[in-house]
Amino acid sequence: MPPAKRPPPLWPQYLCTLTLAVTLLTGVLRLGLIDWADRDHCHSLVTKGRWLDSGFKNWQPEGCMLNTYIPATLSPCLKNRRVVFLGDSTVRQLFFTFAHLADPLLPSTHPSDGGKHTDYSLVSSAMSLSVEFVWDPYLNSSRTKEVLTTPSRGKPPALLVLGSGLWYLRNPTSGGLPAWEKMLDNTFSLLHSAQGVADELFFLPVETPVYSKLNPERRRTIRPSDVAAMNSDLRQRVRAPSSWTWSSRSGAPELKEEHGDLPAGEVVLPQVFNDMLDPAQTEDGLHFAQQVLVTQIQVLLNRRCNRLLKQKFPWDRTCCRPYPLPGFVQGLMIFCVAGWGLLARLWISKRERPLLRSFFPSGDAQHQLSIFGLSVLLCYLADRTPLWDKEQKQFDTVWFFGLLLLGLGAGVGTLKWGEKDAGFLNRDQTDEWKGWMQIIILVYHYYGGSQISGIYNPVRVLVAAYLFMTGYGHFHFYYRKADYSFTRIAQVLVRLNMLTVALAYVMNTDYLFYYFAPLVSFWFLVIYFTMLVGAKYNDRLLFLLPKMAASAALVALSMYNAWVNEALFALLRKVFRLPWNAREWTFRVSLDLWIVWLGALTALCTLKFTQHRLAEHTFFPIAKRFAAVLSLATLAWFFWFELTRETKLVYNAYHPYVSFLPITAFVLLRNLTPSLRSSHSRLFAFIGKISLETFILQYHLLLAGDTKGLLIVLPHSWRWANLVLVSLGFGWLSWRVAGATGVLTAWVLGKDKEKGLPTQRLGPGVGEVGNPRVAQGERANGVVREEEIPLSAVSEGKLEVEGQVENGVTSPNLHAHPHPHPHEHTHTHGHPPPPSPVSGQTVHPLIKAFKDDLRFRIGGILLVLWGFNLIWPVE
């Protein structure tokens, strides 16, 4: 009798639980005690920030994600409006930069033939936007006074930008610091007494020059101490916004319906302008490069315009943009998802009302539903509230490849060598495959690797590999088991989509936004219906192969003819209120249009290879060596090919036709010898078992801003520590949600979770349902082999009825019914047996049908979701 396995240590669970609890507590305390007044980051947007890159292209305000405005996105904020700049040459630079940003047809700098010290007025005809510059380096002219005191005809300027200071230092005859202070007294007096001067009023800090690059004359008059004193004076005069109190909104002044006048004297001092300056970005020490000026303008626009953005996902622009409170319908859905399990545990389970209790889980399912619901609620708190900060991604070569090497080392350190040949593409191997691919994908998303073609292209192959396993697993199952029952369909689709559907409603996003679950669900249905048609002839290759070719052709035609998906999605939008994007869906399916069929053909070849005992032929050793050499050459060619494509868009055109090459090469090399097939990394296999959950939960718990940014639970300067803490909590939650989803799938289907037994072959013909001839020759050298189907894992919390389901790849369950007929199940039509009637209680026929009939139950759930769609507010 083999020795009993030791239970896994509990300290990793305790560590992850403690980490999650501490980060949640610190987030609540930080928000409530420190950041409540600036929870929308309007103040930190203009006062704190840093460059994330050495090229000065990625500016990071503290705690929020900056929006990059272009002419099209500026129009809702500035169309038919006026923007005014007053000041010296540094303000003039901002004026031309803003004008060119708003309309590329407008100049980006002053004319080369002179005219520096003059006023300018530019008009963008595309936006009906008027941009004015008033040359007044001392801010004491009559024109400046007129702008600050005279009410504008119609709407006031959307933006009013003032700047001065260096001219007072540069020209001592101006009166120097005393004159500058007097100017400030007069200017701020006018601003305090004026009403409706502008929607947003900025007084720029005095620019800190790069003294080493100033000419001798400027260096003699512009002293660092004077500049520091002037900026200190400005900070004292520009008070924090008056609404930064314990109110319902944070520091940003509210906009009225039309333009929203500022409170009297509301002036914003963008202190970060000086933080953006770097010696490498200037030649004369005073005037800086265009890319720095563009970033300064973006900060001003984020402060002014972000509050006017549509209140819809993706929430990737979070600076000075308050999160909306959930509406009634979304709030009801959040309560149902997050509170159903808690309600069952805390109240329903204590009530003697069997009819009511029939709609709630019992036993362990209550606990698992609570875990599932609270995890989804945490996604909402993380990505739809200011509980934790969100920041932008920045690719870092050292960290990117360093983390991959660290993951590789951890995987190699947990290698396990088996004593027997585990078989081609066995469960442990496919779990390992998914695991290391998932690590690469997570690191790739965390560091924004999609911007680099040489990294994006191989990652596209990893996604294709997941779909390859989907085709392999589903075809393998239906060819061998021929189980086409509704229970089987429900089992796979519920397991795949439970988390995705819950997040789509709770987060107010879109089902197709979490594209992986829709993709594998779509291909499961394609394989299902392909195998269903003429199923009794599936053992005849002359029928099966043309049928598969016809199915592939139909799918391809629907993707290549855009009107098919456009018409289908228009119907779904009209009838079911599903706002799905047909173009995005066509792109996702077309990108991996053929790889699923490669997986199916690989499964067929594997079965025939085993059936005809080809491994015993004399030519096989030579064929193996040839396959090894060819596979290595193929991998080398592919990496050369993908690295030499100009852009990732160019590669995308080739991807559907070349992705099979590295995947096939890897599969052949990974299964080349018995020792390779029997070995696997336990760490990678563990991650592979929860890869569906990690792929989906990363959208809101590892990343943020609907994948566009990063979730920050610690101060910005500790990104490495933040990565460690977030990863611990994210990994633990993914594991718990994976277990919970398996149990809840069993509950939805009306099945109790069975005890898992080792999945193994019992010899030729035993357990081979629907195609007994396949079993011939599957006992290699008298050794009983583990089931050679991916993802047949038997793990805690996984559904173990009629088939194992995990991450879109399925395998049969040989545990409970070792000798079933292909059309023979535990109950008629694959439904669970009805529960015992409750004594003394009359059950409504509809309620009884919901409890006892799986079709009715699934239909009822879909009907409820349809009802939510119909009452969901239209954005």
Residues designated as active site: 89, 284, 287
Q: 28: which residues sit within 8 A by CB, 6+ positions away?
A: 387
First vs last C-alpha separation in the chain = 64
What phi, psi does 838 have (nearest 5°)? -85, 125
Residue-wise DSSP of 374-443: HHHHHHHHHHHSTTSEEEE----HHHHHHHHHHHHHHHHHTEEE-SS---TT-HHHHHHHHHHHHHHHHH
CA distances from 513 to 41, 500, 580, 630 (A): 27, 9, 9, 38
303, containing H or E segment: helix 290-305
The residue to which tokens 């936007």 are assigned: 129
Going by their DSSP bridges, the two strands 709-712 and 59-61 should be labelled as: unpaired
The residue to which tokens 């520009």 are assigned: 238
From the DSSP assignment, how many helices (H) and strands (E) are in the chain? 32, 14
Q: 326: which residues sit within 8 A by CB, 6+ positions away?
A: 334, 384, 508
Best CA proximity match to 230, nearest among 200, 210, 204, 265 = 204
Beta carbons of 377 and 700 less than 8 angstroms apart:
no
Distance, in Å, from the CA atom of 79 to the CA atom of 65, rounded to the nearest integer, reads: 24
Q: 40: which residues sit within 8 A by CB, 6+ positions away?
A: 249, 250, 251, 252, 319, 320, 321, 322, 386
The residue to which tokens 């965390």 are assigned: 446
Beta carbons of 62 and 716 less than 8 angstroms apart:
yes
What Rg do the C-alpha atoms of the chain give, in angstroms?
A: 32
The residue to which tokens 């490669």 are assigned: 598
Going by their DSSP bridges, the two strands 200-203 and 159-163 should be labelled as: parallel
- 438 CB-contact burial (10 Å; exposed 0-12 / middle 13-18 / buried 19+): buried
575, containing H or E segment: helix 562-576
CB count in 10 Å sphere of residue 614: 14
* 3-class DSSP state of 777: coil
Beta carbons of 276 and 207 less than 8 angstroms apart:
no
Beta carbons of 216 and 210 less than 8 angstroms apart:
no
Distance, in Å, from the CA atom of 369 to the CA atom of 374, rounded to the nearest integer, reads: 8
Question: Strands of 120-124's sheet, edge to edge?
Answer: 120-124, 129-135, 82-87, 159-163, 200-203
Query: Token pair for residue 221?
Result: 């008059």
Q: 285: which residues sit within 8 A by CB, 6+ positions away?
A: 209, 210, 211, 212, 213, 214, 215, 218
CA distances from 486 to 741, 829, 831, 847 (A): 19, 7, 8, 20
Beta carbons of 433 and 694 less than 8 angstroms apart:
no
Cis peptide upstream of residue 546 (ω within 30 degrees of 0): no
* 3-class DSSP state of 85: strand
